[in-house]
Structure 1
Amino acid sequence: MAKVFNYISEAFTELKSNVTWSPWAEVQKYTIVIAIFAIVLSLATWGVDSLFGDLLGKFYNWIRS
């Protein structure tokens, strides 16, 4: 159990002293950019999926008739 506590303590010490954190304004800016990109990508995926679904439906109806 002492090894686990020591590991966690060293991890926190390293995070405090050796990690360079980005400024809060930059983090907010990049979070907004990523959120917008995720929304645009999901809408594009939905649109392509709907298009292919419609095209395959028309193709199968054409083959059946």
Structure 2
Amino acid sequence: MITYIKESYEELRNHVTLPTRAEASNLMVIVAVFSILFALATWGVDSLFAEVIQVYFNALIG
């Protein structure tokens, strides 16, 4: 386990390059937009299924 941690730390120090501030900002905007779109799509599907289930049970009871 100690070897793994040491090797991971060395790889992080020697082989990982961080994006520039501009790249990071652009990526953050892209992630935020897609997160909002995915959340809206999930909400829409959930609302649709809730409505379908409500109609089904109302027809079953009534």
What range describes the TM-score normalised by the shorter chain of this pair? 0.7 to 0.9
Which sections of structure 1, spanning at least 5 residues, go unmatched?
Answer: 1-6
2:29 matched residue in structure 1: 32
CA distance in 2, matches of 1:24, 1:16: 19
Q: Which has the larger radius of gyration?
A: 1
Deviation (angstroms), 1:16: 4.6
- Given residue 38 of structure 1, which amino acid in structure 2 is its aligned partner? S
Q: Pairwise mapping of residues 1-65 of structure 1 onto structure 2 (< 5 A)?
A: 11=9, 15-65=12-62
Q: Which runs of 4+ in 1 moved over 4 A?
A: 13-17
TM-score, normalization by structure 1: 0.72
Deviation (angstroms), 1:29: 0.2
TM-score, normalization by structure 2: 0.75
CA distance in 2, matches of 1:64, 1:15: 62
Percent pairwise identity: 36
**In the comparison of the two structures, how many residue pairs are matched?**
60
